[in-house]
Amino acid sequence: MSKLWTTFLKDAKLSFNGLYFYIEIGLAFIFVAVMLFVVPENFESGQKINAFVNLDEPIKSQIEEQITSEDDSLLYDSRTALEDSLEKDRSAVGIEIKSNGSGEIIYDFVLQGYENDRIKSLLKSTVEGEFLSSIPGFESSVSYDVLEPDSQRLTDRANILPIYLTINVGLMGLFIIAAYIFLDKDEGVIKAYAVAPVKIWQYLAAKMLIMLLMGLITSIIPVLMLAGTDVNFLLLIVMVSSFNLFGSALGLFVSSFFDSMVKAMGGLYAAVMLMVLPSLSYFAPSFNPAWIKVFPSYPMMFAFRELLLKNGDTGYIWMQTVLFLILALLVFFAANLRFKKTLTV
């Protein structure tokens, strides 16, 4: 065990001195930046508010005038029309403004289901600031209705995270671990290692631990920055670890069949493409043939999604985590068997 640790520390030192580590971290930050600046989280300035003013004249016109002065707001003339409009545009929120018959105005928000408390309070203060001041003499109260109480929707940003996480795990495991092995082969250091009283699996496991470290860093940062602190990070760490170990074990196994990075490229590329394919079904749920579920990235993607959903299915997450851990062990075992024969040839 201490030899594994020694090897891991050496590999860590080498990767902090090398490029790949920083490329990975850099890519994670670029992803975060793109998400933050290009893909809007559904609620920020310029939020679309669809409204139905369910009041008698003259207050109705007064409020409607107020609302239409906002660029991004549309008026509907029934609750059903309002809800339909929200089904169509899932980045909008709705509001029905009505009276309770005893001089109180009720602001009833119709939400999509993915909005968090921060957004709710943001809406409330907007209403208080903009509408209430213009209609003096009315007491008010705010309430929320949710379109789909158990929403299967994520904000646009959070929705892309599962794909990023899955590809990150897949790419890291496949390409970078292979690159590390071939780097060692080219430098010849692998031969020196192989004539020391250490086991091949210790060499391979140290590389997997490096991948794990990188995988965790490049997964936690984007989740923290894009999905916030509501996520169950303990579960995220367990999931990423399991999937990442599987990914790098697969990378080891694929590279064991080749003797240079160039030759391994085709195989690795094919493996990555297969990892990416299920994202089709992720974005277009109607495209969901049975065969696509065979790809390991399919359950990975949907497990990440469950993690980000407010009431995600933790049973599913744990099942996939354990499953991939077992698979990782098996693939690692196979890679070790192969490398015993081919690592120094």
Partner 1 sequence: MINVNGLYHAYEKGGPFAVKNAAFKVEKGEIFGFLGPSGAGKSTTQGILTGLLPLQKGEVTVAGCDMKKPKREIFNKIGVSFEQSNVYGKLTARENLNFYSKLFDVNTVDAGTLLKLVGLDHVADKKAGEFSKGMKHRLTFVRSMLNKPELWFLDEPTTGLDPAIASQIKDIIKEENNKGTTVFLTTHNMFVADELCDRVAFIIDGEIKLIDSPRNLKLKYGEKMVSVEHNEDGKLVKEQLSLIIKEDQDRLKTIISRGNIEIMHTKEATLEEIFIKVTGRGLK
Within 8 A by CB and 6+ apart from 14, the residues are none
Task: Give the nearest distance from C-beta 239 to partner 1 in angstroms.
Answer: 32
Give the strand pairing for 73-75 and 49-54: parallel
Task: Give the nearest distance from C-beta 25 to partner 1 in angstroms.
Answer: 18
Task: Give the nearest distance from C-beta 15 to partner 1 in angstroms.
Answer: 9
Structural tokens at position 220 = 């936690």
Alpha carbon separation from 123 to 72, 108, 142 (Å, rounded): 14, 11, 10
Contact status, residue 93 vs residue 47, Cβ threshold 8 Å: yes
Contact status, residue 91 vs residue 48, Cβ threshold 8 Å: yes
Which residues form the interface with partner 1 (CB under 8 A)? 2-3, 6-7, 10, 13-14, 17-18, 187-189, 191-199, 341, 344-345
Q: Name which of 120 and 340 has its Cβ closer to partner 1.
A: 340
Alpha carbon separation from 291 to 173, 273, 298 (Å, rounded): 23, 15, 10
Task: Give the nearest distance from C-beta 199 to partner 1 in angstroms.
Answer: 6
Q: Name which of 6 and 100 has its Cβ closer to partner 1.
A: 6
- Name beta bridge partners: 145: 110
C-alpha dihedral over 11, 14, 20, 24, to 10 degrees? 60
Q: Name which of 18 and 267 has its Cβ closer to partner 1.
A: 18
Give the strand pairing for 49-54 and 93-99: parallel
Task: Give the nearest distance from C-beta 190 to partner 1 in angstroms.
Answer: 8
Q: Name which of 7 and 112 has its Cβ closer to partner 1.
A: 7
Task: Give the nearest distance from C-beta 341 to partner 1 in angstroms.
Answer: 6
Reduced 3-state DSSP string for 183-247: HHHHHCHHHHHHCCCCCHHHHHHHHHHHHHHHHHHHHHHHHHHHHHHHCCHHHHHHHHHHHHHHH
Residue with tokens 């990440």: 304
Q: Name which of 31 and 203 has its Cβ closer to partner 1.
A: 203
Q: Which of 13, 14, 7, 110 is nearest to 54 (CA)?
A: 110
Task: Give the nearest distance from C-beta 8 to partner 1 in angstroms.
Answer: 11
Q: Name which of 12 and 213 has its Cβ closer to partner 1.
A: 12
C-alpha dihedral over 321, 324, 329, 332, to 10 degrees? -130
76-96 residues labelled b (16+ CB within 10 A) or e (exposed): beebeebbebbeeebebbbbb
Structural tokens at position 132 = 């209430």
Task: Give the nearest distance from C-beta 334 to partner 1 in angstroms.
Answer: 18
Task: Give the nearest distance from C-beta 205 to partner 1 in angstroms.
Answer: 14
Alpha carbon separation from 104 to 97, 110, 117, 142, 226 (Å, rounded): 11, 19, 24, 10, 39
Q: Name which of 52 and 258 has its Cβ closer to partner 1.
A: 258
